[in-house]
Amino acid sequence: MVDLKQRPVARKAAGRTPPERPRLRDRVSRVEVRWSPYLFIAPFFVIFAVFGLFPLVYTAWVSLHDWDITGAGAFVGLDNYVTLFADPDFWNSVYNTVGMLVLATVPQLLMALVLASLLNQRLRAVTFFRMGVLLPIVTSVAAVGIVFSQIFDRDAGMVNGLLGLVNVDAVDWRADKWSSWTAISTMVNWRWTGYNSLIYLAAMQAIPRDLYEAATVDGAGKIRQFWSITVPNIRPAIVFTVVMSTIAGMQLFTEPLIFGQGSFAISGGSLRQFQTVSMYMFEKAFRDFDYGYGSAVAWMIFLLITLLGVVNFLITRRSR
């Protein structure tokens, strides 16, 4: 950076007198100044290239082929994508994924907001509660899936047991879209609400106290303070959690897979009631061994996430 400013001076000097042979040490140090920043950030890009970029490009390459269990087949151009666009199972899985995304993200972030503002009060044992909300995220996702699958079991599940107490008929949770989505979203919400509320809490603690004091003097109640001071002040944190939840929600996989049953659980229910796009990708690639088609689905997930990211960005920019 310093170098840049000095360059014009050096050039002028060079114009008047015959150029001096730059000494080796100077040259080395110039090279060092110039290139060492790149070297310092290189590890990220090297790892990204190997584990991020290469799979991405290679997947695109595979998706242009008729690639089956015995290896690379014929180059088929965009055939896989053409089939995909007319594939009702694919669109069904997109619908399911977006549905569960809404069902999991909206209540989750609202609950996290409320929870964070409660944790931001003066409480007894506040550290205990703050760490407590983080516990679900430490739990293994497979364990969560197994336990909640039992809770939402048709014959012996706790939820149906409680419904029975108030004379509601037992629900076959895996048989309908609404019921399976509810069960799966519950798992996601249970696991991630605490995590998001801690992010909100951190943002809330950065809000100057005098804002609240002034509002109290002006006669604003707690709820009014929450919506008019807290929420606007933690907007960046909210944007962050919305974007992260969207990305993760589009890749929802383990919870619905464990919730599904039997040897064909990857289909997400008898009529694919809760099959997500990631599950459909896995089914196509690793169950039907249609790698080309599976790769095309993978690329569509990537594009969908990008699309949702752009939409998120536009919405948040407009509301700024």
Residues that bind another protein (CB under 8 A): 51, 68-71, 83, 87, 104, 141, 146, 149-150, 153-156, 172, 174-176, 188, 191-192, 245, 248-249, 251-255, 261-264, 267, 270-271, 278, 281-282, 286-289
Q: Is the dihedral of CA 253, 254, 259, 264 positive or negative?
A: positive
- Residue whose CB is less far from another protein, 194 or 229: 194
Cβ at position 255, least distance to another protein in Å: 5
Burial letters 3-28, b for 16+ CB under 10 A, else e = eeeeeeeeeeeeeeeeeeeeeeeeee
- Residue whose CB is less far from another protein, 19 or 71: 71
Cβ at position 286, least distance to another protein in Å: 4
Give me 260's structure tokens: 């599904």
Contact 180, 259 (CB under 8 A): yes
Among all chains, which residue has been given the structure tokens 């990708």?
281
Burial letters 96-119, b for 16+ CB under 10 A, else e = bbbbbbebbbeebbebbbebbbeb
Amino acid at 15: G
- Residue whose CB is less far from another protein, 79 or 239: 79
Which residues have a Cβ under 8 Å from the Cβ of 258 and sit 6 or more positions away? 142, 145, 146, 149, 265
Task: For residues 152 and 154, give the distance between their C-alpha atoms in angstroms, rounded to a whole number.
Answer: 6
Cβ at position 284, least distance to another protein in Å: 10
- Residue whose CB is less far from another protein, 26 or 172: 172
Largest Cα separation within the chain, whole Å, is 99
Contact 221, 229 (CB under 8 A): no
- Angle among Cα 17, 19, 23 to the nearest 5 degrees reads 135
- Residue whose CB is less far from another protein, 33 or 78: 78
Q: Is the dihedral of CA 193, 93, 258, 141 positive or negative?
A: negative
Task: For residues 106 and 95, give the distance between their C-alpha atoms in angstroms, rounded to a whole number.
Answer: 16
- Residue whose CB is less far from another protein, 68 or 308: 68
Cβ at position 223, least distance to another protein in Å: 29
Which residues have a Cβ under 8 Å from the Cβ of 57 and sit 6 or more positions away? none
- Residue whose CB is less far from another protein, 139 or 216: 139
Cβ at position 187, least distance to another protein in Å: 8
Cβ at position 291, least distance to another protein in Å: 9
- Residue whose CB is less far from another protein, 133 or 229: 133
Task: For residues 26 and 164, give the distance between their C-alpha atoms in angstroms, rounded to a whole number.
Answer: 83
Cβ at position 108, least distance to another protein in Å: 9
Cβ at position 188, least distance to another protein in Å: 5
- Residue whose CB is less far from another protein, 87 or 107: 87
Cβ at position 132, least distance to another protein in Å: 20
